[in-house]
Amino acid sequence: TYYAKETGKNSYRFYSRNMDSGASLALEQQLRKALERKEFVLHYQPKVDIAHGEVVGVEALLRWNHPEFGLVPPNQFIPLAEESGLIVPIGEWVLETACLQNKAWQMAGIPPVVMSVNLSPRQFKDGNIVQKVKQSLDKSGLSAEFLELELTESMMLDMNYAAETLAQLKMLGVRTSLDDFGKGYSSLTYLKSLPLDILKVDSSFVRHCTDNEQDAVLLKTIINMGQNLEMTVVAEGVEEEGQLEVLKTFGCHQAQGFLLSKPVPGEAIPSVISGIRTRFQAET
């Protein structure tokens, strides 16, 4: 407990931007051990096709099942994993585990879904990523069409490298998406120049789409832009029925958020998928 700071009832902070070097070294050691001890777990959050009410995909989201503190969310350790380079082996584990899980669902007769895996900048840049993706597909036996990689704008800064890498991933047959679109310094240049398949609209555009006219206009504009670029458009952070209605009206393809399901452990996915289907069927 040498680095976890109590910050109130049942909460703690593992990572902070200004943690001292001793604390960050200790956390780094813990992360290294966590990988060896298999303390990382993936939870999965469904993505729903809005027009049909079908779960078409799930996103793998990393958690650290800490022996003392329980499930630690990714923003508490990924920044340090990224800084230290540990994200490369951790990310490899994520990729492989997510592919194996998806293949296992398919073998169990669950209607096939696309598995989305988040990549980190370091993994994209230094991780020999194309080969790692290929290895995970080979090892799991998962067909490439059932894997999607979520990238962020910070990985596109070196456009030549990004274009080359995305082209190679495309040749493998995996899809690529641009995560958190609109959150940062979104550049339309990336959308124009890079072969990205999916646009994930950041939750900040969804949050007030029912009560703020300007947010609604922006949301609609982004969705239309994605459609015009022939991208699949996914809205993140859908928490309310009204937001889903607005997204449907705007022609957004897919929705993801607590309204549909929180991220859940793999074992829970079959029942969550059928639950969502039942719920949508009841509505129509």
Which residues are near Mg ion by CB under 5 A? 118, 150, 179-180, 236
Does 240 help bind ligand C2E (rule: CB under 6 A)? Answer: no
Does 180 help bind ligand C2E (rule: CB under 6 A)? Answer: yes
H-run or E-run covering 64: strand 54-66
Beta-carbon contacts of 130 under 8 Å, excluding residues fewer than 6 positions away, are: 165, 168, 169, 172
Does 161 help bind ligand C2E (rule: CB under 6 A)? Answer: no
The residue among 62, 67, 52, 116 whose CA lies nearest residue 89 is 62
Q: Name which of 127 and 257 has its Cβ closer to Mg ion.
A: 257
Long-range contacts of 259-263 (CB under 8 A, 24+ apart): 260/46, 260/48, 261/45, 261/46, 262/45, 263/43, 263/44, 263/45, 263/59, 263/61
Does 50 help bind ligand C2E (rule: CB under 6 A)? Answer: no
Q: Name which of 28 and 180 has its Cβ closer to ligand C2E.
A: 180
Does 39 help bind ligand C2E (rule: CB under 6 A)? Answer: no
| Residue 28 interacts with, from ligand C2E, Mg ion, none (CB under 5-8 Å by kind) | none
Report the distance separating Cα 103 and Cα 117, nearest Å: 14
What's the gap between Cα 244 and its chain centre? 19
Report the distance separating Cα 249 and Cα 247, nearest Å: 5
Q: In the range 141-160, which residues lie near ligand C2E by CB under 6 A?
A: 150
Does 89 help bind ligand C2E (rule: CB under 6 A)? Answer: no
Q: Which stretch binds ligand C2E (CB under 6 A): 117-125, 134-142, 168-176, 209-217?
A: 117-125
Please report, as ranges, the residues that interact with ligand C2E according to CB under 6 A: 45, 61-62, 73-75, 78, 91, 94, 118-120, 150, 179-180, 236-239, 256-258, 263
